[in-house]
Amino acid sequence: MSSTVDQRRTSIYGKLLRWGCLLYLGVVLIFPLSGVVLRAVSAGPSRIWSEVTNPFAWHAIMLSLSTAIVMVLISVFTGTATAWVLARYEFPGKGLVNALVDLPFAVPTIVTGLMLVAMFGPTSTLGVVLSGFGTPVIYEQSGIVLALLFVCFPFVVRSVQPVLENLDPAEEESAATMGASRWTIFRRVTLPALFPSIVSGAGLSFSRALGEFGSVVMVAGNRPMSTKTAPLYVYGEVEGFNMEGALAVSLVLLTCSLVSLIAVSKWAERQG
């Protein structure tokens, strides 16, 4: 392992280590993945297609995609604003906010869901007020977006913040000396520099949001054709022993998630 003096020939220990690793990877990841693919192939494309186009499954997939997109659109603004404020300004409580940005990654998702129900749910003051305005959040589709906003909060912030901190101030300063307004400087100088990191944060958020389960279980109410997202649908089908139905929707989710991740990373590569 350690004596990889030359890269062409690996020692016997190195080979043992490699095969040990691959075996572990196989048992935990590669064999289960191949099992799913084999099962899908043996079910046949027409069965898979009919499971995906079943109205309940289709609604669940569309709900997952649309809530994820709405979340990303909001998160792009709030995340960039948070990163901006943390990188540029001094204000009381900044250290606390900066440390707590990562909290959604650390807190178990089911606890996240429970927190949101405690704050916005029908038994809370805020929940009663929201229902009074005719816009209850928890157990509605807007609750799903709220949960996704919480869970994905750190992605955009943490991908934009370091770029903003390492940005050369010279460009912004020279734009200012040439008489550009703050807004023009932001739009023409700063934003283009931040854009790749915003997109990569958005891509990560989207992929994560598609698969989110624990927090959505708590806030969504799990009503078919209304608040049942694709991961909830997959869980329901597994419980009902309809493995093909679960498999079909899983394949769609997995494809969307991988395509968004790969597209973003390819795009970022092309941007240099």
Q: Note whether 20 binds other proteins by CB under 8 A.
A: yes
- Tell me which of 41, 49, 53, 108 binds other proteins, using CB under 8 A: 108
Give the whole-angstrom CA distance, residue 255 versus residue 236: 20
**Comparison of 90 and 192: residue with beta carbon closer to other proteins:** 90
Which pair of tokens denotes residue 241? Answer: 């022993």
Q: Note whether 28 binds other proteins by CB under 8 A.
A: yes
- Tell me which of 51, 120, 130, 264 binds other proteins, using CB under 8 A: 120
Q: Are 220 and 146 in contact (CB under 8 A)?
A: no
**Residue 101, SS3 per DSSP:** coil
CB of 248 to other proteins, least distance (A): 11
For 78-106, b where at least 16 C-beta lie within 10 A, e where not — what string?
A: ebbebbbebbeeeeeeeeeeeeebeebee
- Residue 148 exposed, middle or buried by CB count within 10 Å (0-12, 13-18, 19+): buried
Q: How many residues does the chain have?
A: 272
Q: Note whether 22 binds other proteins by CB under 8 A.
A: yes
CB of 63 to other proteins, least distance (A): 14
| Stretch of residues binding other proteins (CB under 8 A), selected from 50-58, 132-140, 147-155, 169-177 | 147-155
Question: Mask: binding to other proteins, 177-216, rule CB under 8 A, as x and -?
Answer: -----x------------------------x--xxxxx--
Helices 141-165, 55-88: crossing angle, 10 deg rounding? 40
| Stretch of residues binding other proteins (CB under 8 A), selected from 23-31, 54-62, 133-141, 187-195 | 23-31
**Comparison of 49 and 77: residue with beta carbon closer to other proteins:** 77
